[in-house]
Chain A
Amino acid sequence: MIQLIIAIVLGMIMILMAGVAIYHKKLKVAIIAAGAVSLFASILYILLAAPDVALTEASIGSGLSVVIFFYVLNKIRKYDTEK
């Protein structure tokens, strides 16, 4: 029962975060939102009884992917709409 409520709330948060990641104007906010989608997908994997997939998703989708995106965004900083 509580698993269903947690899954529904996580789904709402993930869909709204995907909307922010697509339509926000600043690129850094879009990248943080895409990292947050992976972070909540990791909790959904635990609900689906897959802790190994959750470990990999939390470390790669939310850690390493955000680091790579910000490394590239640091080199094209002039294009990002500042302030």
Chain B
Amino acid sequence: MIFSLVNISLIIGILLVLAGIWAAITQKNIIKIIIGFSLFDTGIHIIMVALGYVKNNTAPILDSENLRTGTADKIVDPIPQALVLTAIVIGLGVTALMLVYALKMYREKKSLNINSFKDLKW
């Protein structure tokens, strides 16, 4: 079956990664480049979660309803979810650091165009 949930999620994730790389290498504005990196992050996270999905199984969280119906062992893989949970928080830190650099560069030259930063040291 080509149209399963995992395949659709993988296609969405790969298209988002390509859109992020395209934004990072073709846009001139620094804020647009940072938005491109953010899209790249989201695509990578979707791919990693989709690789751990098992068909017809539920979330790996135990509650009373789950124990009563006896479906506590039909769960998806929890390891990629834990990895992505860490990666989202670190992605926020990286985005904030890039934004602070963009602010310092704007205060130096009063411009956000990437072509106006040509010298290696200023």
Contact = CB atoms under 8 A, between A and B. Distances in A.
Interface of A: 3-4, 7-8, 10-11, 14-15, 18-19, 21-22, 27, 30-31, 34, 37-38, 41, 44-45, 47-53, 56-57, 60-61, 64-65, 68-69, 72-73, 75-76, 79
Residues of B contacting A: mostly = helix
Nearest to B22: A22
Contacts of B57: 49
Contact of B36 (A14, A22, A41, A53): A22
A62 to B, nearest CB: 11
Given A15-B19, A22-B23, A56-B89, A27 B29 contact: yes
A44 B23 contact: no
B59 A49 contact: yes
B102 interface: yes
A18 B16 contact: yes
22 contacts: A7-B12, A15-B15, A21-B39, A22-B35, A27-B32, A30-B32, A41-B46, A44-B46, A48-B50, A49-B60, A50-B81, A51-B59, A52-B61, A53-B88, A60-B88, A65-B95, A68-B95, A73-B31, A76-B103, A76-B112, A79-B111, A79-B112
A10 B15 CA distance: 13
B85 interface: yes
A57 B88 contact: yes
Given A22-B19, A22-B36, A7 B5 contact: yes
